[in-house]
Structure formats: structure tokens, C-alpha cells
Structure 1
């Protein structure tokens, strides 16, 4: 299972067929699922819950103590879903008293040098690019892509199927299904290519386009636009996801590149 030069705490729970390479370090109160590979010099710290068939590359540190001065030593966890890949030198902090856990979902790819801070919730099938720096309490929806060298403000949210361009600064919430780009970060169309790849029909994509035409191009404020969307468009999963996301946005959403207040 593990090489003689790896350190595995006797209280760690390691499933069958886990490979732990030389100089990796597995601390106590750790659980690792079947088929997972832990690379050389990776450090899996207290509270880690790593699923099946994951790959943790050299230099990664999973479930480190939060970089939060309010952290008082509470017992918290970090959850990594099945089939997720954590590349070189990624750091993932465990939770604080806020959510008590940090979560990265199933089938995710977290590229080299990214940081996922305490109490972040990253959904399934997400891609987080090289050197993305994610502050505490961030939420990322399923199938979202955050491109390289992006900075994400604490408590910000990125919606499902959204795609954020590289080198961005996310200060406000990024709604579902959109592409976000430019500086300051703004709506740059819907993520139509990604939606097609994931099996969305032409009718669904057209509906999403209509939603964002009303929201960003009609000249209405957000409340008026949401009322118009609910009045004119039939209920659907896509419509309701956009409406609920915006209504529950704590930081407010990005604006359109074409709107007057985007610059």
C-alpha cells in the first residue's frame, strides 16, 4: 500500500488499493478512499476526507489549518469527492466554525498552485485553473470553470456552468451559465459552447440567452428584470436557477460589459 519512506499516522483510515508514495505524510483523523494515489511529498493533514480514485500530486497540502485569525482550533474537516485531481502545490484549508468544512466535489480538477481557502464549497465537475486564489467562504457551482490566475473575493459565488476568463478579479457574484471576462469583470455572453458539450438542447440555450437579454440588455434594474423574466418566461430549471441565484446574491452580481455601470 505505502512505501516505507512515507509517514502514515496509525489512526489514519486508509482503504484498500491506496498508493502512498515516498515522503508523503498522512496525519491522524484522515480517511482516504479506495484507489486513491497520494504523490511524493504530498501532505494530508487532520480532518481530510478524500474519496475514491483521487489523485493528489507532489507538494499538495490538503486540510491545513485555516489562514483565519478567528480560527480557535475547532475540529473541522476537508472533503474531496471521488475522482478529483489535486495537482502540484495546491493548498486546501479545512473549515472553520462557519461551515465546519471545506468541500471540493466529485470529478474536479484543481490545477497547480491553486488555493482553496476555509469554508469554500466547490461543486462537482469543476475546473480551477493554475494559481487561482480562492478566499474563504466562496461557493462554486457544478461544472463551473475558473481560469488561471483568477482571484476570488471572500463570500463570492460562481454559478453553475459559468466560465471565468484567466487573470480575472471576482468581486461580485457570477451568475449561472455565463461567460465572464474583461476588467472590471463583466458579463460577456452565455457559455453556449460549454452548455452544448454538456447536453443542453438548442431550446434550453435559447431560453438562457433570452433570460440574459432581459437582465443585461433591456435597461431594467435587477428587480425589474427578474419580475419580467418570471412574467414572460415559463418556469424551468434554468430560469429558476438564474432567478434564485440573483435574488440570493449577497455581494450583488457582475454587470454586462455593454451596460453603463460596468466601467
Structure 2
């Protein structure tokens, strides 16, 4: 499907794409293709590097050794990838904060600015959670107070992840109109969501019913998906900052503020 031509007013936009309030069907596919054409080298290199690095960590660690929780202190270099994913989450959160700062210059985007800032603070919090495992502490607290696992599967941290997902949905729905105009960011954003969803789904595997080798295998799969999600989130946020800096509407709002 060919993308519609933009008006002459937008002829100087270095990344032309039709403005649309809603993204559906073939337009979504066209946007993802546009995102791939613009950034295929960055995306392909980041995906391959992350997969190879994670596979090497799983091989040399014979499972999840390098993916263990950082605070556990199980041995030398254990938890190394928890630090890596925390760094990616912090980078992504900082990028969303920058987009929020840029959007605050436009009075019509104040609600969006709040959502961007909320998302940025959420990314920073997730980085902290990755290092300190706050969600595990909360899950144990829920267990002590008799709260059963969701649907009888996994453990109580599923409730925490559901709350995180609800907050992300709020932010995403609030800024959806702007995201629709920045298709270059769609592919890493969608891959990040898919990887986080896959990691959460694997977390519902009945861990205690598995043998030790099976635990190492499925634990590695879960952590690799999570690492890929965090890397793509960082790339997504970086592209958002780039789009916000080049967006004509944002630039006009900044000029009005200065004048």
C-alpha cells in the first residue's frame, strides 16, 4: 500500500508521513514498514547484538546465572544483565522525560506532556525496580496476606506487572495522536511491547513443576525476552526524542514561547 502524499506545506519535512488521529489496519503496516526503512540498520544491529549477547550469557552461565536478580549477590558477575536492562529502562525513561519537556511548550499538548512525563518517571521507576526487585517484595507481601496468584498461575507479581501495564496503556492512549504522526518510532515500540508480553507470559509457566534444566531453559527465555524489550524501549525513546526535536508543530510552539 502506497502512503498518501502530504501537502506542499509539509514538503520540507525530512520524514514525510500522513497525519492521522487513529492508526488501523493497512496504515499500521505501512507505518511499520516506514519505520523499518528509516532505521533498519540500527534495529537489526541492536537486535542481533542483544540476541547474541544473551545467548552467550545463557551458554556460559549454563542458564540464568548472569540474569539473576542483582540484589541476590549469588556470585561474581551474577545479575550482570539486570544492570544492563536497568540501564536501558533508565535511558528510555529519560528520553520520555525529554519529550515531555519539549511538548510542554505547546499549550494544546499539556495533557500529552503530563503523560510523557508520567511515562518517563515510570521508566526510571522500572529501572530502580529492576535493581532492587521491589515487585518481588510486593509479591511476597501479597502472598503473606493470602492473595492467591492470578488465575492460579505464576505468583503474585503478576498483579504488579498488570498495574505496570495499565499505567503504560494510560500513557500510550493519551499520546496516541502524536505517536500516529511519528511512524518512525513504531517498530521498536511494538517490538518492546511484544517482548515484554512474551516475557510475562513465560513467567506464568509452573516453575515448581519443572526440572532444574527446564527451569534454566525457560528462565533464560524469559530473561532474553525481557532484555530485548528493554533494549527496544531505549531505542524507541531515543527515536521519540529525535521526532520531537524535528516536529514542525513542536518547533512552532517553541518559537511562540520565545517571542
- Taking structure 2 as the reference length, the TM-score comes to 0.28
Larger relative CO (CA 8 A, sep 6+): 1 or 2?
2
Structure with the higher fraction of residues in helix conformation:
2
Structure with the higher fraction of residues in strand conformation:
1
